[in-house]
Amino acid sequence: MSQVPERGEIDTEDKWDLTSIYANDDAWEAAYESVTDRVDDLRAYEGRATESPETLLELLELREELLREVSQVVSYANLRSAEDTRNQEYQAMSAKAESLSSATQSAVSFLEPELQRLDESDVASFVEREPELAAYEHYFDDVLRTKPHTRSAEIEELLAELGEVAGASSEIFGMLSNADMAFPTVERPDGESVEITQGNFTKLQKHPDRAFRREVYEGFYDEWGDVRNTVGTSLKNSIRKDVKYARARHYETAREAALDGPNVPVEVYDTLIETVHDNLESLHRHAELKREALGVDDLEMWDLYMSMTGDEGPDISYEQATEYIVDSVAPLGEAYQERVAEGLESRWVDVYENRGKRSGAFSAGTYDTQPFILMNYQDDITSMFTLAHELGHSLHSELAKDEQPWQYADYTIFVAEVASTVNETLLTHHLLETVEDDALRMHVLDEYLERFRQTLFRQTMFADFELRIHEIAEADGALTPDRFDEEYRDLKSEFYAPAELDDRIDREWMRIPHFYYNYYVYQYATGISAAVAIVERILEEGEDVASAYREALALGGSEYPIDVLDAAGVDMTTSEPIESAISVYDEYLDRMAALLSAA
């Protein structure tokens, strides 16, 4: 029987090295206590933040010092918690760290309201009198920009304190889906038993035996059906939280509030949804091509992830995947390539699934740490592409930290998803051009088409769903599991018109963690659109474009995201990048259709 191993059974070299943050849990506890004792130092500046340029600089430097320490404390605790969500000690550690983070944010929440008592001429005078404040000019601009939506110091402190409980719905969902839910064990056609998990569900949906895929699909979604009311209540309250926070800051909608944070025009969101809806025939063509390739009368929901080649695809070991990835990023320059290789050799990556481990994948870390990548590697092409994706995030962070001070090293998700998808796109080009194995090349092409489907179309569908359910809440409508089902099925039937929809797919919304992230998912779709445009130019024009792209990544948060992408040569305020990406998708569909005909 194929069982998911316990964490202690995973080889050390396949686990990330958190001792680079703290030597052990005792060292973490000491750091936690140290920064806790200093939080009140920030409060000493309340009412005095702008009494002089020198005082403001002192406060900004103290704020940086403490927030950098807090981010270390939070990062270590959260990464330990992700290793095994069943571990109550690390859950408690994570909770303590998040509480400390909220307390620290609360202690300095007076800063922005006090800064907003200044106007642009006041800020200019401060910078002239204390030149070191020039390093904060973009920050000051951003603070003054949001002046209409910043409340009094008292209310800002309250909102900051509520941050600890505001994420409760997401935390509950994570614990339920990663730790408490027990999915069934099914028998493969070869007689081996396998336990369904969040981590391996998609891989099992690629098994060539259709009856097995159906069994996995039904068992997986039946388990979700058993927690329907819990998940529905959790999502409902998460949406309500978004709406109430937006209203507290005098925004008309939660979407306006979410997009105003990174200063992304709401029209970008609308243009994405409209453009994708106008081009659904390309997605429908993909579905029909898959139906024909699989030789089935109807494309069922348990067929959607199946490769058009008709089999699961070749195994790709982690070692082979890292070799392919390192080679594929050569167009981004020797220094970028070497840094990817060094990171893979330095235990950035927690490679394999273990029991209780958080599902999915992510790249994390702080200004003062190396990147840390969580994977649940499954020895397949999809896992290889996911690793390339997360390494894009990690290298983005490294480049930004190299060039920016702490206050600008972080960057918005809007830009982040470009860096990750550029790596995926380069990997595809590399494998299609260099691998001689025709079967592997066909699987690579199929994988890239699937990533287009899932990143551009599926994430836009998610974005549309998220908009709809927020609008229901904003109109004081009832958000029930039945209503979620109804809205989700309506979109699913439009996006996947050539396929057969069963009742279980109505509850797919239940398993998507990103619906708790407040208008997050649309950035995957805008990200792939920008990434495709950038890669096409790099491959055509070479180092000049690659250099501009690296420089854009190195901007971090020192400019607004629309301007960062403009520096990389992409205008995301128009539909052109989205239409261009869909055009590339169509070209790859043509290529796949030709390969299938010749097979």
Active-site residue list: 390
Please give the distance of CA 254 from its chain centroid, rounded to a whole number: 19
Crossing angle of helices 459-474 and 228-248, in 10° steps, is: 70
Q: E strand or H helix at 598, and its extent?
A: helix 576-598
Burial of 135 (0-12, 13-18, 19+ CB in 10 A): middle
Task: Report the largest interatomic distance among the alpha carbons of the chain, rounded to a whole angstrom.
Answer: 77
Tell me which DSSP letter residue 478 carries. Answer: -
CA distance 519 to 271: 15
DSSP conformation class of 484: H
Say which residue the tokens 């404390």 belong to. Answer: 73
Among the listed residues 272, 323, 324, 300, the one whose alpha carbon sits nearest the alpha carbon of residue 447:
324
Residues 6+ apart with CB under 8 A from 491: 461, 464, 465, 468
For tokens 């990690």, the residue is: 394
Closest C-alpha among 286, 245, 220, 63 to residue 149:
245
Question: Quick one: which of 222, 226, 189 has its CA closest to 204?
Answer: 189
Residue 369: left if φ>0, alpha if ψ -120 to 50, beta else—which one?
Answer: beta
* The pair of three-digit structure tokens given for residue 526, joined into one six-digit string: 């805008």
Residue showing tokens 């002046």? 147
Residue-wise DSSP of 107-121: HTTTHHHHHTTS-HH
**340, 325 Cβ separation under 8 angstroms:** yes
| C-alpha span between 423 and 389 (Å, rounded) | 6
Which amino acid, one-letter code, is at 440? L
Alpha carbon 252 to its chain centroid, in Å, reads: 26
Tokens of 579: 């239409």
Q: Strand, coil or helix: what is 21?
A: coil
190 to 21, 214, 311, 314: CA distances (angstroms)? 45, 16, 15, 17
Residues 267 and 526 sit within 8 Å (Cβ to Cβ): no
C-alpha distances out from residue 52 to 56, 142, 178, 237, Å: 6, 20, 50, 43
Which of 412-416's residues contact partners 24+ apart within 8 Å by CB, and which partners? 412/261, 412/262, 412/264, 412/557, 412/561, 413/262, 413/520, 413/523, 414/262, 414/264, 414/523, 414/526, 414/527, 414/561, 415/553, 415/561, 415/564, 415/565, 416/523, 416/527
Supply 73's token pair: 């404390």
Spell 556-582 as b/e; 16+ CB within 10 A means b. bbbbbbbebbeebbbebeebebbebbb
